[in-house]
Amino acid sequence: METEHQVARHYGRSGIEQAFLDALRAAGKDIEHLQPGDLSGADEFHLGGPAATAELAADLGLGPDLHLLDVGCGIGGPARHLAAALGCRVTGIDLTAEFIEAAEGLTRRCGLAVSFRQGSALAMPFPDGAFDAATLIHVGMNIADKAALFAEVRRVLKPGARFGVYDVMRMAEGELPYPMPWAATPETSFVEPPETYRRLLQEAGFTIEAEHDRSALALRLGREARERMMAQGPSPLGPHLLMGPAAPQRVGNVMATLERGLIAPIEIIVRAG
């Protein structure tokens, strides 16, 4: 429980929705009539951004009439993306109250019917078998008890439902630099190798169907973002909106570690037994 409080404090800060609205105005957007794309992916707080979300959705076979659970939904970027692009019915849950508040406000302005709940991924307020699919996008790095996490996701999924994990995973030995986007210190960072994920997912009752390393995508998009910033200057819509003044150091640390091959953004697709 104390770890969850520390994680929520790491992410939570007041005024997140207002910071996005101010940035959207600066970018020339009509904040009363937003589209999910107006946020330029700044609301998708993971390596690869919307492109990685789209690949995950395709691998999961998401589409209309599916009720999707987004575990650790942040401020709702992937949930809005999938609801708008694919017509999914999406429910998001996140530990951080400030994230849920921003998710609800931004989603209303986009005219989308996505629901959000504040709560722990280890004890979700949903009945057994409530969802047709689930996603977990850059969340497991903050959760030490991944066995309990995967068991809880399995509980709320229907038999045969797919679950897509997209996390930063350890690929080689070596010290990780902090602060990282998900943690300021090692005390709340629980980065594990893909084999640990595979074992724990299977023990929770899932069958592994596919696995993809999205490092090339993340590195390419990172280089393109740096080139745009050098040519055009910093965008009003950027990682600073969620990470504050520490954003350059945190982003720099994660990209440098990715380039060194110590970590990688790995997608694992499984099916509930």
User: What residue ranges do the domains of the chain occupy?
Assistant: 2-272
d(CA 182, CA 42): 15
* Peptide bond preceding 179 in cis form (omega within 30 of 0): yes
pLDDT at position 215, please? 98
Closest CA to 40 of 230, 250, 225: 225
pLDDT at position 234, please? 85
Give percent above pLDDT 70 in the chain.
100
Looking at 3.30.360.10, 1.10.10.10, 3.40.50.720, 3.40.50.150, the CATH number of the domain 2-272 comes to 3.40.50.150
Low-confidence ranges of the chain (pLDDT < 50): none
d(CA 231, CA 190): 36
pLDDT at position 221, please? 94
pLDDT at position 142, please? 98
Give per-residue pLDDT as tens, 77-97: 999 999 999 999 999 999 999
Give per-residue pLDDT as tens, 211-227: 999 999 999 999 998 99
Task: State pTM to two decimals.
Answer: 0.96
